[in-house]
Amino acid sequence: MRLLNDTLEKIKEPDYSLIKAVQRKLDNLTKPKGSLGRLEEIAKQIVVITGNLKPKLKNKVIFVMAGDHGVAEEGVSAYPKEVTYQMVYNFIKGGAAINVLANFVGARIVLVDMGIAVDLKTHPKLIIKKIGYGTKNIAKEPAMSKKEAIASIEAGIEVFESEYNKGMDIVGLGEMGIANTTASSAIASAITGESIEDIAGRGTGVDDKGLSKKIEVIKKALKVNNPLAGDGLDVLAKVGGFEIGGLVGVILSASAKKIPIVIDGFITTAAALIAYTIKPQVKEFMIASHCSKEKGHKLMLKYLGLIPLLDFDMRLGEGTGAALGISISEASIKILTEMATFSEAKVSKASIEKSTIDKN
């Protein structure tokens, strides 16, 4: 618990004193004022997060946390739980979508076994932080003990801090775990107060019958465990997952280090909800990459007050949306730091814009 508490103490509000300076710089670039919309907003956010008027996003890291879920035995997924470890081996071999997109944006993947139900072969591309061999079935009992919940978060913090020393300018979040949309739906409903019917989606692609069953399982899990909405640790322990706990640790640690965090889809946003419940200031360090096709993701983002960059009907997870979000974030910083100002380019400003800028 000491590592978690120490990390929480280091999380402070970002420094907003640079807002005027970065706005002035953006307004003096060779373009109509505000014409690059969200790109300008993201650039300002990253400057505020990092406390640097000329940030560089050279070192990009995507943390992919993996873990199994006992609730898979309820038949809530279209795939068997063996797919969790099989996909992890696929990540190691470089054959998954996240590998392709991470390579595309120049990000390195940090792959972590947080609680896969089998022992995996040791490999240089895999970090073992196994808290247990999958969580327990939340339809019958708590997913894990409070001690295990804390251990999962602290494991995420440890992984982050180890990787931080190798260089890190922006973080993406990803995951793998069969049935983790069921756990994430329970987390989302518990924290936001939204109904299961409005939150739960098809996950890996269950049919109408499967979705109805999934909804009933989640309702049962919430009734059996009664997680406390305002207590992130309680929610994680009762209906969460080991990989979700690991992601919470990454979010907390990145916030403490003033690193921008690009969240992915439904599961990583569930981790963001828990982190936010534990330490509300972490929201200021988050960038929502996209709105998942998962039904409740929009409601989760709304609760956090985050506006997604993309809406591509994606629902894969793995960090695929985060990779694209990192690419857009890097583009925003390149606009800020590489684009010429009016004076540098010897381009005349519009008279209205010039007078406004001069007054500021």
Active site residues: 318
Beta-bridge partners for 171: 61, 261
Inter-axis angle of helices 2-10 and 242-256, to 10 degrees? Answer: 40
Give the CA distances from residue 3 to residues 247, 253, 343, in Å, rounded to whole numbers and listed in that order: 15, 10, 50
Give me 16's structure tokens. Answer: 């907003």
For residues 109 and 62, the answer to whether their CB atoms sit within 8 Å is: yes
Give me 259's structure tokens. Answer: 């690193």
173, amino acid identity:
L
Coil, strand or helix: which one is 125? coil
Question: From CA 8, how far away is CA 217, in angstroms rounded?
Answer: 33
Helix ranges (H only) for the chain are 2-10, 19-27, 37-50, 82-93, 97-105, 146-164, 180-192, 196-199, 208-225, 232-239, 242-256, 266-278, 297-304, 320-338, 342-345, 351-359
Question: From CA 78, how far away is CA 69, in angstroms rounded?
Answer: 14
DSSP state of 230: T
For residues 159 and 204, the answer to whether their CB atoms sit within 8 Å is: no
Q: Which residues contact 81 (CB under 8 A, 6 or more apart)?
A: 68, 69, 72, 117, 134, 178, 179
